[in-house]
Amino acid sequence: MGGDIVIENHRNSQGDPTADIIASYSNLKSIEISGSMIPRLIDEIPIIALAASQAQGTTVIRDAAELKVKESNRIDMVVHTLKTFGANIEATEDGMIIEGPAPLTGSTVTCEMDHRIAMMAAIAGLIAKGRTTITDGQWVDVSFPGFFHLLEKLT
């Protein structure tokens, strides 16, 4: 997508690879994600879709039908949630197509017990003009306790 991202200070934390990510503003470009890339990015698809909504061009995500059988039908949840913000996004049989960039407007969203959708909506709320409310944001604690506190510190 052409993001200006630097990864430094690689280390292990409780057996997991960890690093510091330094990101700077950059104009994003559309991409295509499919095939063998999907299993490695399956948990990141919601935030990638959000980034794609701000990227220039048409992003296509395909071969991701397994997203339909996660905590929720994550394809439908990503599409529905981003549409409530005003993103130009459509579901396909095995993924989604996102046309960007699109201005986002604050919204009230429900994450249906999926922490990834809640985190995506929180970041979308930072991009959007107007107020965003996540009615069940507590699900973020499943994978990232302290997410909202850290997000507050960053903004």
| CATH (domain of 49) | 3.65.10.10
* Residue 155 predicted with pLDDT over 90: no
Three-state DSSP at 25 gives coil
For 105-116, write each residue's pLDDT tens digit: 999 999 888 999
Q: Is the pLDDT of residue 73 over 90?
A: no
At residue 148's C-alpha, the angle toward residues 144 and 153, to 5°, is 115
Asked whether the predicted pLDDT for residue 119 surpasses 70, the reply is: yes
Is 64 part of a structural domain of the chain? yes
Which of 4, 43, 114, 141 is flagged as catalytic?
Answer: 43
Both tokens of residue 2?
């052409």
Asked whether residue 129 is domain-assigned, the answer is: yes
The mean pLDDT of 35-62, rounded to a whole number, is 96
pLDDT at 97 over 80: yes
pLDDT (average), residues 60-75: 86
Give the number of domains in the chain.
1
**Residue 43 known to be catalytic:** yes
| Residue 4 in domain | no
Asked whether residue 2 is assigned to any structural domain, the reply reads no
Residue 98 belongs to domain spanning: 29-154
- 24 occurs within a structural domain: no
Using an 8 Å Cβ cutoff, are 58 and 30 in contact? yes
